[in-house]
Amino acid sequence: MKVITFTDGGARGNPGPAAIGVIIKDEDGHTIDSYGEYLGEQTNNFAEYSALISALKRAKELGATEVESVLDSELVTKQMQGFYKVREASLQKLFIQAYNAAAQFKKVKYRHTLRENNKEADAEVNKILDKKNLPD
């Protein structure tokens, strides 16, 4: 089974209060799962990686064998594709977690998209941060 994950991570302030948003769809575009999670005080890049890791783990739980990961973080996309080196020590640990989570699938493809094309995942992030009554 192939799924498409749409992930977003955001921090209000960098670092600041952070959250993830994850949307998982089947190949027909039907939403299988959607959720957000509060991360505490983190950087935006930490949140982006955390969203990807969470989505990969959830896709595995749902029985997926292939994943297309759609992210609006160019940095995380390019690092996962092997085009950019992961220089920041805090991100190296997250990269390894994401890499290991992805290794459990037959195939994983990473695709960068613009923020305006990732509105559902972004909405999940903001829903969580708004619940915390945090300023934009």
pLDDT tens figures, 72-113: 999 999 999 999 999 999 999 999 999 999 999 999 999 999
Smallest CA-to-CA distance from 71 within 42, 96, 91, 51 is with: 51
**For residue 121, is pLDDT > 80?**
yes
What is the per-residue pLDDT for 44?
Answer: 96
Residue 132 banded pLDDT, cuts 50, 70, 90: confident
Region of 76 (left: φ > 0; alpha: ψ -120 to 50; beta: rest) is: alpha
What is the per-residue pLDDT for 134?
Answer: 54
Tell me the C-alpha distance between 121 and 8, whole Å: 5
Residue 15 banded pLDDT, cuts 50, 70, 90: very high
Predicted TM-score (pTM) of this structure: 0.96
What is the per-residue pLDDT for 19?
Answer: 98
Tell me the C-alpha distance between 105 and 117, whole Å: 25
Burial (CB count within 10 angstroms: exposed 0-12, middle 13-18, buried 19+), residue 63: exposed
Residue 3 banded pLDDT, cuts 50, 70, 90: very high
> Cα dist. 109→45, 90, 102, 105 in Å?
19, 24, 9, 10
What is the per-residue pLDDT for 136?
Answer: 57
Tell me the C-alpha distance between 98 and 121, whole Å: 18
- Which phi and psi angles does 14 have, rounded to 5°? -140, 90
What is the per-residue pLDDT for 127?
Answer: 95
Give me the percent of the chain exceeding a pLDDT of 70: 97
Query: CA torsion, points 53, 54, 57, 59, in degrees to nearest 10?
Result: -110
How many CA atoms, within 13 angstroms, populate the side-chain half-sphere of residue 82?
Answer: 3
